[in-house]
A and B are shown apart, each in its own frame.
Chain A
Amino acid sequence: MNLSMLATAVAVEGRKAAASRVLTSTAVLLTVGVAALAAATTAAADGGDGQLAAKLGPLAAAGGWPAVLNVATQVTAAAGLLAFGVGLSWMFGREFTEGTITGLFGLPVTRPALAAAKLVVFLLWAAATATALTVAVALAGTAVTRQAPQPADWAGLGRLLALAVMTAALAVPAAWAATLGRGLLPAIATIVALMAVTQIIVVVGAGGGWFPPAAPALWALSPTTVGAAELLFAAVFPAAFSVLTLHAWHRLQLDR
């Protein structure tokens, strides 16, 4: 795989992604959903809804910008993994379910180059979605609190942006699962399982920082509780699954 081949593959995958309703609607749903939930729950807590305040915990119950950021961060960690996972599952799984994978053999652009291009385009889409999500939360927060963000709030918005990008990266196992399972459903099942295991580990409190899918969310909620080594370990997780995915596309056979 050389740079020219990768550039061609990125151009092709980028064209497909730009025309995709799946990616566009997923990005809009996540962006609007997170901002709306953060704004609505904060408004309810500020309005004296005791039951909701109890459910949200002490930080969110305090209202204002801390509540907006706390809710947005929690929802992004969970819903973001699902949304980015669905997007990536579709990008890889569709080639198998729609049968277009046969046309991706016998080309001068190799399959590993195409798989790498899908990952590059996915990360670009995820970065754009993460940016839109952060801007939407900033606007929703300003509207519901009637206050401009303070330096601590800007830092929280920065962590929200980083969390969304890292959450997208944590969805990379979906690409591997879609390839091994030859379709969308194995990939989405993998994402749902990843979400469930992450929730269990975080709720049990068994050193969640060392579990890669949990580390970014724990760091975004409380930066001092997760160290640099744990975040670095979380970065190795998508990198390893990217390599596995490229290898699976290199060795791919249409034998099922």
Chain B
Amino acid sequence: MTAPRIEACGLTRLFSGGAGVRGVDFDVIAGEIHALVGLNGAGKTTLMRLLLGMLRPTSGAVRIDGRPLRTADWSTVGHLVETPLAYGELDGRANLMLAARLHGADANRAARMVDDVLTELNLAQYAAVRARRMSLGNRQRLGLAAALQHHPRVVVLDEPTNALDPAGVILLREALVRRAADGAGVLVSSHHLDEVARVAHRITVINAGRVIGTLDPRGVDIERSFFALVHADDTHRDRSPL
């Protein structure tokens, strides 16, 4: 059996008002793209924050490549949650160099990584452009490059296609397929079944902070299946005593 790159057991973290995640068991296997889909506010970002140590769970635990978060090898993790790691006063290349250094690369290796990812994500023309002058989509692409350039074994991307144009979506999809083929475990979230969710090996549906089922990525009408799952869960909760 393939070892999980990410493993979460019984993860719970609730906020005032009832939002959050409740008792989530979840994993991402090496070599797979795992899509997490749910409506806005379903708990996708909270779950990703818990997986990356941005939030501490009230119960449950996370392991990255078999190790608890406290001792995880973070140089093998790449992520983009909500905001790209891009500083407006720095140009594309400088931003990527900083991200590479922060992921443990020395200056020489970082320079090579940056050259490669600029080509891979078609960002070369923005290498000398300050991030504050880039469009939203190009800033997102820069953030994705920062998350992927060190070829991490664990990739976590929250709504990665936000603001991307169709060409950007295809470049991202191909980059993720390459990372997974090299053995990375890739987790992407989406609030709709977009192009990235469609290249997933597994699709997990989250609703109201709980994992409520899975979808077959090769299914003929996965949108219909998705809404059927969510509707059934909402109906079940409405009928259940609090």
Chain A contacts to B: CB under 8 angstroms:
8, 11-12, 15-16, 19-21, 98-100, 102-109, 253-255
Contact = CB atoms under 8 A, between A and B. Distances in A.
Contacts of B87: 16, 19, 98, 100
Interface in B4-53: 15, 49, 52-53
A99 B82 CA distance: 8
B53 A105 contact: yes
Contact of B54 (A20, A105, A108): A105
Contacts of A253: 54-56
Contacts of B80: 103
A20 B90 CA distance: 9
A116 to B, nearest CB: 14
Interface in B127-176: 143, 146, 156
B55 A254 contact: yes
Given A8-B102, A106-B52, A99 B83 contact: yes
Q: Classify the secondary structure of B's interface with A.
A: loop
A107 B75 CA distance: 6
B112 to A, nearest CB: 17
A105 to B, nearest CB: 5
A98 B88 contact: yes
Interface of B: 15, 49, 52-56, 73-75, 77, 79-90, 94, 97-99, 101-104, 143, 146, 156
A254 B55 CA distance: 6
Given A19-B94, A108-B103, 15 more contacts: A15-B94, A15-B98, A98-B88, A102-B54, A103-B79, A103-B80, A103-B85, A103-B99, A106-B74, A106-B79, A107-B102, A108-B102, A108-B104, A109-B102, A253-B54
Contacts of A15: 90, 94, 97-98
A102 B98 contact: no
A16 B143 CA distance: 16
Nearest to B72: A106
25 contacts: A8-B101, A16-B89, A16-B98, A19-B87, A21-B89, A100-B83, A102-B83, A103-B84, A103-B85, A103-B146, A105-B52, A105-B79, A106-B53, A106-B77, A106-B156, A107-B74, A107-B102, A108-B103, A108-B104, A109-B104, A253-B56, A254-B49, A254-B54, A254-B55, A255-B15
